[in-house]
Amino acid sequence: MNEKPIATPKRTAEILHKYGFSFKKSLGQNFIIDTNILQKIIHSAGIHKTSGVIEVGPGIGALTQQLAIAADKVVAYEIDQRLLPILKDTLQAVSNTTIIQQDILEADVRAMMNDYFNTGQPVHVVANLPYYITTPILMKLLREKLPVASFTVMIQKEVAERMAAEPNCKQYGSLTIAVQYYTDAEVVMNVPRNVFMPPPNVDSSVLKLTKKTERPVEIDDEEYFFTLVQACFAQRRKTLRNNLLRHFGDAVDKDTISSVLNEIDIDPARRGESLNMTEFAVLANAFYRKFEN
């Protein structure tokens, strides 16, 4: 394909001017204007000619264009209908791309995958995600347990660090556990603000989440597990005992909480950030069996 790359400052400015497009801050629109960054994202994602790709928020098609060259099929969700005629124009040279005008949070992604991708085809999510809604998008896609091999996404640096964190650091929290329950998380690279138009107000990173083939821990009830993990981080400076006491309210007293924790060899005076995922699983299972069965 001899089409000029969209991801340059000049080409992006030309497209925006041609259509009189104005950025909507409410949609978190920051377009990438550096083709090298896009190539690194695609390489990190492991995209090849047999790959199917799901993109979220294609914008004017900068990443979409490069994905179409590298992959077998690209399906992109775009919520802003003003961008549809622009994408039709910028992507006219590629025939393996479909744009769906829909909010990804409301989409039946599994049904779409059945319609557009071949059975057994490796499918990856690759996207420059709107920063204001990164976590809801990723958690929706993870919790639906879609047949997606990996997620390689440009997101806010601070959020990437939280998703890839290890225990005993300030970035480690309930989001870390939720993401790492489903995937292996790795920050691939940090990205300067000047590769976006307009530049965002925050630093950015590319995060790769590789789907785990097996669950990392055995838990009795997933929803209960995630709820209890969140409770343990509700007030970070408080102990497990106090956070759990706050969570259970009048239903459970402090001595009972301490007793359950002592039975599983977890000190009630520890804080949530000191527990690894295995310990959280043991904790959640113990309380589930004590109070839910």
The annotated binding site for S-adenosyl-L-methionine is made up of 30, 32, 57, 78, 103, 128
Q: Which residues are documented as binding site?
A: 30, 32, 57, 78, 103, 128
C-alpha span between 128 and 133 (Å, rounded): 12
Number of separate helices (H) and strands (E) present in the chain: 12, 9
Sign of the Cα torsion 117, 123, 128, 129 reads positive
C-alpha span between 56 and 249 (Å, rounded): 40
Complete DSSP assignment for 200-246: PSS-EEEEEEEEPSS-SS--S-HHHHHHHHHHHTSSTTS-HHHHHHH
Cβ-proximal residues to 55 (8 Å cutoff; 6+ apart), any chain: 63, 64, 67, 74, 75, 76, 77, 125, 126, 127
Upper half-sphere CA count for residue 230 (Cβ side, 13 Å): 11
**How is residue 268 written in tokens?**
């009630």
C-alpha span between 149 and 50 (Å, rounded): 13
